[in-house]
Amino acid sequence: MTNAPSRDRPGRRRVGLARFVRCLVLDYVFVWRVHLDPPSRRSVPRVYREGARAPVLLLPGVYETWRFLRPLADRLSALGHPVVVVPGLRHNRRPIKATAELAQAVLDAHDLRDVIVLGHSKGGLIGKTMMVSTDVEGRIARMVTVNSPFSGTRWSRVLPNPALRAFSPRDADLLLLAEQLEANSRVTSMASRFDAHVTEGSVLPGAVNRTFPVDGHFRPLGHPRCMAMIIAEVERG
């Protein structure tokens, strides 16, 4: 049985135009703040290499750099977690499988163990692909995702962009990934009340599913209450 979305799927939301527009506006306020970071904040801090607690692997979404997750990464680093940024990922436009292999090579090269994946949007699909495919030595302990399109998103069918086609609810690879249920018990899938980008929701069967008290796809990455929830889930294990 597949995880294809339906009208009755939990997590799917229908909202009015005003709420939809407000959601997008608040999302892109956060996006522009990231893009306007000064050059001094665009390199990976050396302190990310330090820490004696479980390493945290950052997996951003499509067209995102690791800096979209920096507000969370800075806090996790301060709590003693080494933070792992995948070199060469850039804006994360590669196919999901290729990116999973790239990220796995980093974990293998540094012999990292008990890794916690922190994935936003596409990053959650990459992380689950690692868990069920590339992580043959069991380096990943669990994963926390934020607004990941585990059931796809309808926008992939109407936007003429090859990088977004992998998120089609009918994509063969996405459907195959959804059938891999064994890893879901090690996942916490966190999602906004409404996400204008992932309207099908992020409910993952068998996972711990949490809801943020705000709308938005990017907004939770910088919202204080949402950030506290995300960090608590990372720390929970």
CA 213 to chain centre: 18
pTM here is 0.92
Nearest to 33 by CA among 83, 71, 87: 71
Q: Which long-range contacts (CB under 8 A, 24 or more apart) does 34-40 make?
A: 34/65, 34/67, 34/68, 34/70, 37/67
Nearby residues of 141 by Cβ (< 8 Å), 6 or more positions away? 54, 114, 115, 116, 186, 237
pLDDT in tens, 76-128: 999 999 999 999 999 999 999 999 999 999 999 999 999 999 999 999 999 99
- Total number of residues shown for the chain: 237
Please tell me the least confidently modeled range out of 11-15, 134-138, 222-226.
11-15
The model's confidence at residue 155, banded by pLDDT at 50, 70 and 90, is confident
Gyration radius of the chain's alpha carbons: 17
Mean pLDDT of 20-33: 96
The model's confidence at residue 3, banded by pLDDT at 50, 70 and 90, is very low
Residue 13 has pLDDT above 70, yes or no: no
